[in-house]
Amino acid sequence: MSKPALGRGLGALMAGGRPPTPTAPAPPTPASIPGAPVPSHAAPRRVALDLVVPSPLQPRKDFTPESLRELADSIREQGVVQPLIVRVVGDRFELIAGERRWRAAKLAGLPDVPVLERAATDREVLELALIENLQRENLNPVEEAQGYSQLQAQFGLTQDEVAQKVGRSRVAVTNALRLLKLAPVVQDALRQGRLSAGHAKVLLGLTDPTLQTAAAEQVLKGGLSVRQTEELVTQLQAPPPTGSAGSNRATPSRDPHVVDVENRLRERLATKVALRYKAGRGSLEIRFHSDDELNRILDLVGIQLD
């Protein structure tokens, strides 16, 4: 099954195809001063590598050294086949897309690289960088969440608007943003790939950062699966024993099937959910903290208010 395209995609940037690469290097021209419009159909040209700079809006922060070396070896043989997409900022070319190729070109010792100039606002740069990385599955879960958060904070977008911009569902964006509630140590483990997104979503069931960190350490040390992590979180969520005579007895753990359903509901609704069940009876509690959040939950379960 093919993966659907995200947002506007990079095809719009590339103007439909891979153009031939001119050979003559060229510095920024007077016509490309800041604020001057750059036509989106401009042909690619080669510029000195040291005139190209990374964008502070780039959501991707982690680049694997081994994969960069492999790409650099390929670039030494074939050159940079796909032009970097840039915008002119002062006397430099700021990257919109292609930072990995730029880094590999530096490793390969290239004097210049092919670029395509595009006029783009800060918001468009961040959107396009997110789209490029999401399409290529380059972002780790934390980088993805931070990119969404930056679109919201810096440009005042709602979760719905963020989802539309990057071609994700609102639920996917909401669930990604929840990862930023994890303790910094847990986020680092997720960023480094030592914890999976599945583990991280389960650990979100613990609201105390200290408990999250302690649980993550147990998961990493014991190599726990997601299901085992669910059981661990359930144990940590259990109320402490009282000071009565029976306080030495272990608190009975909850039915793992009930915990699994509760976790799935929590992930689907992107809010705190409490499921109580016994012998075919029970209750379901769904938390919300604003009218907007209530409307979002009602929309998810297919209820439209008049």
In the chain, list all ranges with CATH 3.90.1530.30.
11-133
pLDDT by residue (tens digit) across 11-56? Answer: 444 443 334 444 444 444 433 333 333 444 468 889 899 999 988 8
**pLDDT of res. 136:** 63
In 3D space, the residue among 212, 206, 207 whose CA is nearest the CA of residue 184 turns out to be 212
* Domain at 11-133: CATH code: 3.90.1530.30
pLDDT tens digits along 173-196: 999 999 999 999 999 999 888 999
Distance CA 154, CA 88 (A): 21
Q: Is the pTM of this model over 0.75?
A: no
Active-site residue set: 99
Top-ranked range on mean pLDDT: pick from 66-75, 172-181, 258-267: 172-181
Do 273 and 285 form a contact (C-beta atoms < 8 A)? yes
pLDDT at 178: 92
Own/partner long-range contacts of 166-171 (Cβ < 8 Å, ≥24 apart): 166/6, 166/7, 166/127, 166/130, 166/131, 166/134, 167/4, 167/5, 167/6, 167/7, 167/9, 167/131, 167/134, 168/6, 168/134, 170/296, 171/268, 171/270, 171/300
